[in-house]
Structure 1
């Protein structure tokens, strides 16, 4: 999210397209993006507990949540930003939700609308694939999902758990050319960045992702959903 912050400095700073405007973050209802400060702010699934127990979340008004796949509501948020004079710094979404609403998938129409609105307004679009990644569709990025192959890429996409064999400390962020151009040396640092052993783990995982494994991920996922639906309909089980 530091890249989005840098972009906002350009957009709302002196001479910027949105000069002087206050900023807000946009995320999806039920979303989960993490527990550190800014990711926690856009994690609707945890907001009730955070607002009750953490002072920094008290009476905050810098985050907007909109329902997943509700195109009209999404358009209304950006229209409101224009009318009220604030800048949407970042829109974040999970392609397949994890703990907030497990299995909830973003539709192509909703994604394309989000991509278009962010581009038109100078906002950054972040796809959080940390809880999805290979486990959701058998491919790493949303732009490789079935039906998404020809979509415009997000500005940023993050990966971790499916890429690190589910256990080795590693996270990766992919940047578009636009996002990469906002990076300035000194605005980000990490003790474990480019850890050689972590990178070897990721390479080993990727080397094992064969077409047969991708197919198996999709088939087992469909099988699991079918069994859950069967259990849901069987009153003797529930």
Structure 2
């Protein structure tokens, strides 16, 4: 028997090693990995600059606690602040922890409790993260949720106008709902949300856990819309496989997160920060982002041309190198077929295939992935 709690639906592939976009299984097979560890390995597996940075820090110190000033924390925080246009950073270990920090900060800074989030959203599996998440399946079996989280229809401006008020602490929103099916916020909705927040003294929090660190062709997805959030949260791609998360906020919020207000034993770990700095040095380069954005254009062009006409394909949506193919049938059997053919992809809900290739994926790898998907979907027999 396994001594692990069965919390995950495991695939049939056990990794032996990985490099770039290729995962090598213990079955002797090679797989084109278009999951990036669920949007984590944005530079692929084991990128050399990150590996070098981590090894260098390993030879200095691994952990000393946050009682000590650490220049590596300051350096990483400065990069995040400069690229986001915000000011102050709290380092955590994951996306859920980053969202916990943002929720605590919003409630303390405003003195209010109500937080508005959206149906189909996903913000983590802690109790605050579950309460914020707009998917009932995440909450089943865990009893009463934390109070004062309100879930509204995504991109529905009238419902937001009706709900936002002087009792609202924050609006928490994803620019692209990743786990909820790759639904993209509209320009009108997010700009009006920003305006409504400002008029009511409400903080605008953007959850960039999956969309941040170059995934959409800009450092952060909110930058496509010309808005200025009060807080953003990041994780996943920041460490390229090393556990790290961060809540980034405006300077006006610093007074509310003073000594003793919040903390994390392992938050701001120097090993993870060494990886994060190396990642940001590469991804936040303008040339890198332009090339990644062009690859996103190639991916979506091929998806529409090669798959868009198929009866089994209902919709294709996303941004940058974050794509969702909504099907008229369940996605899991097709994902299993893709793995047999050497392509690893993800679900995003029951009927959506999610693609999250590394940002430095090669053109020929994109072409191969789409070709494999076309073959799998062409051979799939739709049954009523």
TM-score, normalized by length of structure 1? Answer: 0.78
CA distance in structure 2 between the partners assigned to 1:229 and 1:128 by the alignment = 29
CA displacement, residues 125-180 of structure 1 (integer Å, 9 cap, x when unaligned): 110010212464122223422xx2xx231111011112221x21011221122333
- 1:20 is aligned to none
- 2:152 is aligned to 66
Contact 1:156 1:179 (C-alpha < 8 Å) held by counterparts: no
Q: Which has the larger radius of gyration?
A: 2
- 1:205 is aligned to 279
- 1:174 is aligned to 248
- 1:139 is aligned to 218
Q: CA deviation at 1:224?
A: 4.0
CA displacement, residues 68-100 of structure 1 (integer Å, 9 cap, x when unaligned): 11111211112xx46xxxx11221100111111
Q: CA deviation at 1:55?
A: 2.2
Contact 1:134 1:162 (C-alpha < 8 Å) held by counterparts: yes
CA distance in structure 1 between the partners assigned to 2:303 and 2:265 by the alignment = 39
Contact 1:95 1:106 (C-alpha < 8 Å) held by counterparts: yes
CA distance in structure 2 between the partners assigned to 1:74 and 1:225 by the alignment = 33
RMSD of equivalent CA atoms: 2.4
Q: Secondary structure at the match of 1:204?
A: helix
- 2:169 is aligned to 89
Question: Higher relative contact order by CA 8 Å / sep ≥ 6: 1 or 2?
Answer: 2
Q: Secondary structure at the match of 2:236?
A: coil
CA distance in structure 2 between the partners assigned to 1:226 and 1:135 by the alignment = 25
Gaps of 5+ in 1: 13-22
CA distance in structure 2 between the partners assigned to 1:63 and 1:32 by the alignment = 13
Compare the two structures and name the one with the higher strand fraction.
2
Contact 1:24 1:89 (C-alpha < 8 Å) held by counterparts: yes
CA distance in structure 2 between the partners assigned to 1:3 and 1:215 by the alignment = 37
Q: Secondary structure at the match of 2:168?
A: strand
Compare the two structures and name the one with the higher helix fraction.
1
- 2:125 is aligned to 35
Q: From the superposition, tell whether residues 121 and 49 of structure 1 become closer, same or farther in structure 2 (CA, over 3 Å).
A: same
Contact 2:123 2:129 (C-alpha < 8 Å) held by counterparts: yes
- 2:260 is aligned to 186
Q: How many residues align?
A: 210
Q: CA deviation at 1:215?
A: 2.6
Q: Which of residues 168, 180, 183 in structure 2 aligns to 1:104? A: 183
Contact 2:176 2:183 (C-alpha < 8 Å) held by counterparts: yes
Q: From the superposition, tell whether residues 225 and 184 of structure 1 become closer, same or farther in structure 2 (CA, over 3 Å).
A: farther
Contact 2:214 2:220 (C-alpha < 8 Å) held by counterparts: no
Q: Secondary structure at the match of 2:116?
A: strand
CA distance in structure 2 between the partners assigned to 1:73 and 1:116 by the alignment = 15
Q: Secondary structure at the match of 1:203?
A: helix
Q: Which of residues 237, 249, 261 in structure 2 aligns to 1:162? A: 237
Q: CA deviation at 1:220?
A: 2.4
CA distance in structure 2 between the partners assigned to 1:164 and 1:217 by the alignment = 22
Q: From the superposition, tell whether residues 193 and 61 of structure 1 become closer, same or farther in structure 2 (CA, over 3 Å).
A: closer
Comparing 136-145 and 214-223, the one that deviates more: 214-223
CA distance in structure 2 between the partners assigned to 1:135 and 1:224 by the alignment = 21
